[in-house]
Amino acid sequence: MTISRLLIFLVLASVVGCSSAAGSRRVEFLDDSRPLDFGPVAYGSRPVDVAFGAWFAGDVGAADVAFSALADDSALSLLGKAEWQTLRGDFEGAAAAYALFFEGHMDNPLADFAAVRLESLLPLISDELLLSGVATADWGPLSASARIGLTRVAAKLDAERNQRAGGRSELVRFGQLEQWAWAGPFGFYENSQFEVVYPPETQPKLEQHTQYQNRSVPRWEQQFEDFVSPSWPSGGVYYFESFFEADGNDPFTVTFRGSGSTTVWIDGEEILERHNWEALAPHQISRVVALNPGRHRTLVKYAVGNRNDPGFQLMLTPTTGKAPPYAIRAVEPGATTGVEPSVFLRGRGPLPDDLTLIAGDPFYLWLAAYFALEVGEFSRGRFALQLAMPLAETFDCLHLAEGELSQTDGELDPTLATNLSIASFLRALEIDPLAGLPRLMLGRILYDQGQIEEALQHFDLLASAYPESFRPNYFRYLILSDLGWLAPAELALRKAAQDKPTSCTIATNIADQELAVGRYPTPESVAQRPSVCTSVDDLLIDFHYVPSGKVKEALELAQELERRDPTSNEYRITIASLLAHLGRVDEAIAEYALAESDDTSDAPLFVEERVDLLLAANRGDEAKALLEDALVRDPSNIAYHELMRRFGGEGILADLRVDGLGVVAEHLASGQDTKQSAFYLLDYAAFRYFRDGSSLSVTHQIIRVLNKDAKNQHGEVKIPVGAIVLNLRTIKADGVTTVDPEVIPNKNSISMPNLEIGDFIEFEYITASRPRVDGTPSFRAPRWYFQIYEAPLMYSELVVEVPAELEIQIDIRGPVPPPTITEHDAFKRYTYLMTEMMVPRPEPGAPNSLEIVPSVQLGYDIDIEPLRDGIRNSVLATTVPSDSLRDALELGRAGATEPREIAKRLFRFVKAEITEDADTYFGSPASWVWTSRSGSRMALLTTLLEMAGVPCEVVILKPFGAPEQDNAVPDLSNYTQVVLRVDVGDEQMVWLDPTQTHAKFDYLPPELQGRPGLVLSPAGEWTVSRSYDPEINRQHLEFELLIGEDGAVNGVGRERSDGVHGTRLRNFVGRFRSDPDEINSRLSEYLVRYFGDVRVTHHDFADVESDGPVTLAYDFEASNFARVTNAGLDIRTTVFADELLQRFATLPSRTQDLLVPFPTNTELDIVISLPSGLTLSSLPENVEIVTAFGTYRRTVEANEQDVHLVERLDLPMQRVTPAQYTDFQDFCRQVDNAQIIQLSGRP
């Protein structure tokens, strides 16, 4: 039903009503509520009657004049004027009329309708027109749903005002609750009684986990924009919890919409309850309550029938525009307004969202029942009838609605429903035999039941009473056609058309009847057909005229259609096609040209059709010129390039293609042998970029397979979606025989046929890229790699052509030779070539392949800002403050008020509460991370800091080890680490990385210190991360070793670590702290490389929970630490040696840079005590090694039985070039030798 139809319905009903008195004028609703007979009552002499009459008659000019002349402020005049102005596009005028309506007619039954219409207009109008009519009106007489509409209007206006003032609107304060915690599902079998499944249901907060039937049901938090509808795991009972704040204690309305059984509590007091489940449409219940100022809790128990349940809405709306939106002291039952329980109905499509049911007015109750039927809300429709029947027993419209509801109620047995419907309609006809609609509905049921002759009797009676009405005559047509009485059937159809001149159904049936007897529509008959039924004529052209050879008649029909709607390009295109079919080439070309000129886009249209026509007319020069112009406007259009071949063109990128068979023949003639399992004989791509940023490219590869593994690896070929394949074949080992594959539908790869060892695989294809959506002519060519890890590339070539005037950006990595640059027509061609490129062999410790493998990338007008803004938008989308995070903020800050202390406590809180589990740093919203206690700590910490008023910025960093060279074609692919920069009011910013559970506050791992970064702020400035004191990372090791006479050792070790080593040690403690034996075992494994057969007997940790260094102490014993000889004891050990050669410098020489990826800062303090009776006879020497790569120092002190060694190593993160490698290797060797301890003890 359209809005205009609905308004007709309402207006006529308010004027005429529903009556059974004999001879009185009745409003009967047939065919989507159209009156059977308007009569003089509907079109009266009042100005408003004249205006509506002109509107309904379709006289736009007269309606404009009549509505403009309306001077009275009656409800009907204001609503009519508002609706007409809406229809005509005068939205502000319509809003002004609605505002006047609310000032004087808030108690009018149509106020609900007006409220919803006003809300729908809000995006199109300015707020000044609405404030007086909305903000100060008394909303008491409105339904809950109408108040919802007006509160949303107020919320949107509030948002606009706050946005202009630079603030943020609290939209959640108006109407619908959106932030919910929920738990479920619980057992569904109790649903019939809706028993308690989560005791106690009025508890203050849902538990984080609830044990139910031997399983743990978690508690989640989530924000919903419309219906509260999480991804239901299954059917069952769910509990939802939400909090809100109230400003005062004025009345307000709680409204619930949902399909499932529900109970609603506010602050532990039951407010609403409904114990039935409706699968077809949501029900709605409401209750008026009052508020106490402050914070309140809502709890909803909701039964879900299956995973497709649409969910529910819970809305809180004030009774007046001035009232605060929320409350919570329940009003006594006697204070409740409206019908109990209140019933409000939801429409669909363009219908108003809700209609008020006014107790005591049977017409409006029947109206509600009608709309309940329209949207399938059968239970509410029946309830409306139950309220209305005692008030108006004789109204046939009530019996009609009851019968219709009974017929379609999904809860009833079909046979019972049919019998109830028939009985109800017969009862209505007993009350008033002239009642039209019950008889129509009864006839429909009989027709559906196959009782067509009985149905025909009822439709004949209706047709006699209403000879020009659509429905009875249309059903007569259907029945008479079924009975084979074609002439009476056609007459009934013509009569139906008189009442329904705009019906496409009627037009289609008439056309079918005419065609059945060989009569084709004429332009004259088309001129009389409703303009809305052009689809009928389109079908006639496509499926009747043209296939039967009546192209001329089809053309006349299409021309008539174009005359009726000259703005439609579709008819012009149809005419052009039909003219071409008739050989009227010039006219067809002209029509296509007109169609193109009428199109608002700049793209060429109908090029292929027009080229075909011009060639058919021997106008080849014009066709070529047309095609050349199209290629200028759309240069990457593959179809146009293919057409150009008809004018002697060589095909797409023909000058850039390579002869594959020639390449194979040349290779076979050379006798070249790579001794590889497979190799790429040809690895080639050519790109041609145009001024609009679009491109055409050809990719051509030839692979030779030389063993079974290579055959299996390369035998399946994947071609990009949308590519045009030029060659795809197996070339046999003779270089001449080729075999084409069979393409199997729905298979995403192609198996190369008859592939044997020694054969070649060739594939060549064309792809196109369209211009950028934003219209900028920039482009970025794919990066081309001249080496791959898959197989050698014997010939790797990249060709890129760009318009000669463009200054392009070129990024080269590795030893790529300079390009050959030539000019061809208006293009500049860059050719890069490398041959015999073997599989790359990364050396240990080398940078990533982007630096090692030679590659090149070309681009034009590439800027970093769009990339930065894209990442920033993802951050903004996941760091939105919400009500659910307020509890988290208060828990996390724990009363802190100073910015630094707030940041420190929130940092620790997020690490303790959230399990880091994020594919990206900003994947799920912060509210979801908090609800699930899993996800991106970074997103949650950022949000909480912003909510706490502590300024912070997200920064993306390029870590140590990423390519040092800046990309000349800008991108952010090397900026892979995300950190927070927090302003706590100190001299220096605080930098935070919460991804590690035991990370230190105000500290970054070494690989992120002093690194370039980009701040994800609107300004997007570049920055460098903070460098911290390297002493933070120093690892302090202390050992006391007591040697026994048998060479065994009893030792005590202590490790004190901060920074990165402290984080690792805390991670170790956190992982194994609950299992002391496991810690002893792992410490023994850790020490075995230094002490041999070792066993840790005791351990202890200190300061694990502090923000400073953590200490680990342990006792251990080991046998055979010293070698017993006839002369005494000999000790040769490398206790905690750093073994730099083995870690970094195993190769004799290097061709690639070496990365030392993390710093080594250690301080080792060892005391070795000999057994009594032995004295030291040899000692290690003091050592000092100072180089550009690092430093090592050792001091030795001794007495007769004890030796005290202190050594200190500093090896920073660094990049060692191949030229420096020998010197670096020598430094490593010196340190390793110095760390060998040799002692002797003699009697």
Measured distance CA(474)–CA(505) in Å, rounded: 10
- What tens digit of pLDDT does each residue of 207-264 get? 776 766 666 677 787 877 667 888 777 777 888 988 876 665 556 667 777 777 788 8
Measured distance CA(126)–CA(321) in Å, rounded: 19
pLDDT band at 156 (very low <50, low <70, confident <90, very high): low
- What tens digit of pLDDT does each residue of 623-652 get? 899 888 888 888 999 888 888 888 887 889
3-state SS of 281-312? CCEEEEEEEECCCEEEEEEEEEEECCCCCCCE
| pLDDT at position 194 over 50 | no
pTM equals 0.58
Name the token pair of 726: 């030029």
| pLDDT at position 544 over 70 | no
291-295, 558-562, 586-590, 1197-1201: segment of lowest average pLDDT: 291-295
Measured distance CA(685)–CA(699) in Å, rounded: 4
Q: Which residues lie below 8 Å from residue 516, measured CB to CB, with a gap of 6+?
A: none
Q: Is 988 exposed, middle or buried (0-12, 13-18, 19+ CB in 10 A)?
A: exposed
pLDDT band at 1062 (very low <50, low <70, confident <90, very high): confident
Q: Is 744 exposed, middle or buried (0-12, 13-18, 19+ CB in 10 A)?
A: exposed
Map residue 861 onto helix, strand or coil.
Answer: coil
pLDDT band at 147 (very low <50, low <70, confident <90, very high): low
Name the average pLDDT for the chain.
75
Measured distance CA(433)–CA(427) in Å, rounded: 10
Helix, strand, coil percentages in the chain from 3-state DSSP, rounded to 5:
40, 25, 35
Cα separations in angstroms, 890 against 151, 314, 830, 898: 30, 27, 61, 14
Measured distance CA(603)–CA(631) in Å, rounded: 10
306-320, 810-824, 983-997: segment of lowest average pLDDT: 306-320
Measured distance CA(570)–CA(521) in Å, rounded: 20
Which H/E stretch holds residue 629? helix 620-633
Domain boundaries, the chain: 3-164, 177-356, 654-860, 865-1028, 1032-1242
pLDDT band at 1238 (very low <50, low <70, confident <90, very high): confident
How does DSSP assign 523-581, residue by residue? Answer: HHHHHHS-GGGHHHHHHHIIIIITTTT-HHHHHHHHHHHHHH-TT-HHHHHHHHHHHHH
Reported as half-sphere exposure (CB side, CA atoms, 13 A), residue 448 has a value of 13
pLDDT band at 1226 (very low <50, low <70, confident <90, very high): very high
Top-tier CATH class for 654-860: mainly beta
| pLDDT at position 602 over 80 | no
Q: Please tell me which residue, 880 or 138, carries the higher pLDDT value.
A: 880
Reported as half-sphere exposure (CB side, CA atoms, 13 A), residue 897 has a value of 0
Q: Which CATH architecture has domain 3-164?
A: Alpha Horseshoe (1.25)
CB 283 within 8 A of CB 259: yes
| pLDDT at position 334 over 50 | no
Amino acid at the residue 684: Y
- Residue 212 pLDDT: 66
Map residue 956 onto helix, strand or coil.
Answer: strand
| pLDDT at position 87 over 50 | yes
Tell me the β-bridge partners of 228. 312
Nearest to 1010 by CA among 1040, 1041, 979: 979
CB 335 within 8 A of CB 254: no
The neighbour count for residue 212, using CB atoms within 10 Å, is 15
- Residue 38 pLDDT: 24
Q: Which residues lie below 8 Å from residue 858, measured CB to CB, with a gap of 6+?
A: 781, 800, 802, 808, 809, 810, 811, 830, 969
pLDDT band at 359 (very low <50, low <70, confident <90, very high): very low
Residue that has been written with the tokens 């000879």 in this structure = 467
| pLDDT at position 427 over 70 | no
Reported as half-sphere exposure (CB side, CA atoms, 13 A), residue 906 has a value of 36
Measured distance CA(875)–CA(1183) in Å, rounded: 53
Q: Domain 865-1028 adopts which CATH fold?
A: C8orf32 fold (3.10.620)
Q: Which residues lie below 8 Å from residue 650, measured CB to CB, with a gap of 6+?
A: none
Amino acid at the residue 1104: V
- Tell me the chain's radius of gyration from C-alpha atoms: 42
Angle at 259 between CA 255 and CA 263, to 5 degrees: 55
Amino acid at the residue 418: T
- What tens digit of pLDDT does each residue of 797-833 get? 999 999 999 999 999 998 999 999 999 889 999 999 9
- Residue 35 pLDDT: 29
CB 591 within 8 A of CB 576: yes
- What tens digit of pLDDT does each residue of 453-505 get? 888 888 888 787 766 667 788 888 888 888 878 778 888 887 877 766 666 66
73-77, 664-668, 809-813: segment of lowest average pLDDT: 73-77
Most confident of 60-64, 402-406, 525-529, 965-969: 965-969
Cα separations in angstroms, 297 against 147, 179, 631, 883, 891: 22, 12, 66, 12, 19
CB 1054 within 8 A of CB 1112: yes
Measured distance CA(903)–CA(911) in Å, rounded: 12
Measured distance CA(400)–CA(392) in Å, rounded: 13
- Residue 798 pLDDT: 97
Measured distance CA(455)–CA(86) in Å, rounded: 42
Express as a percent the part of the chain with pLDDT over 70: 69
- Residue 997 pLDDT: 83
- Residue 352 pLDDT: 26
Number of helices and strands in the chain (H, E)? 38, 51
Q: Where are the alpha helices (DSSP H) in 894-1024?
A: 899-913, 926-932, 937-947
Q: Which residues lie below 8 Å from residue 1153, measured CB to CB, with a gap of 6+?
A: 846, 847, 851, 1215, 1216, 1217, 1218
- What tens digit of pLDDT does each residue of 686-736 get? 999 999 899 999 999 999 999 988 888 898 898 888 888 999 999 999 999
CB 932 within 8 A of CB 913: no
- What tens digit of pLDDT does each residue of 949-970 get? 999 999 999 999 888 877 888 8
Name the token pair of 980: 């927070």
The neighbour count for residue 178, using CB atoms within 10 Å, is 19
Measured distance CA(444)–CA(692) in Å, rounded: 62
Phi-psi region of 675 (alpha: psi -120 to 50; beta: other; left: phi over 0): left
| pLDDT at position 935 over 50 | yes
Reported as half-sphere exposure (CB side, CA atoms, 13 A), residue 1077 has a value of 0
Which H/E stretch holds residue 892? helix 884-893
Measured distance CA(237)–CA(261) in Å, rounded: 9
Map residue 839 onto helix, strand or coil.
Answer: coil
Where does 108-235 show beta strands of DSSP type E? Answer: 175-176, 179-186, 209-212, 215-223
Amino acid at the residue 569: N
Measured distance CA(927)–CA(493) in Å, rounded: 61
Residue that has been written with the tokens 């670096």 in this structure = 1224
- Residue 810 pLDDT: 94
- Residue 42 pLDDT: 31
Task: Indicate if the alpha-carbon torsion angle 822, 823, 828, 831 is positive or negative.
Answer: negative
pLDDT band at 1195 (very low <50, low <70, confident <90, very high): very high
Cα separations in angstroms, 660 against 347, 664, 665, 703: 66, 6, 9, 11
| pLDDT at position 360 over 50 | no
Torsion of CA 135, 137, 138, 140, to 10 degrees: -70
Map residue 747 onto helix, strand or coil.
Answer: coil
Q: Is 1183 exposed, middle or buried (0-12, 13-18, 19+ CB in 10 A)?
A: middle
Do the two domains 177-356 and 1032-1242 of this chain adopt the same fold?
yes
Where does 936-976 show beta strands of DSSP type E? Answer: 952-957
Count how many residues are written for the chain: 1243
Measured distance CA(871)–CA(955) in Å, rounded: 11
pLDDT band at 663 (very low <50, low <70, confident <90, very high): very high
Residue 1175 backbone phi and psi in degrees, to 5: -125, 155
- What tens digit of pLDDT does each residue of 1001-1047 get? 999 999 999 999 999 988 888 999 999 998 898 999 999 999 998 88
Name the token pair of 655: 């000058």
CATH 3.30.1490.20 fits 1032-1242, yes or no: no
CB 154 within 8 A of CB 213: no
- What tens digit of pLDDT does each residue of 436-457 get? 656 777 787 788 778 888 888 8
Measured distance CA(631)–CA(947) in Å, rounded: 55
Correct CATH for 177-356 of 2.60.120, 3.80.10, 1.10.8, 2.40.30: 2.60.120
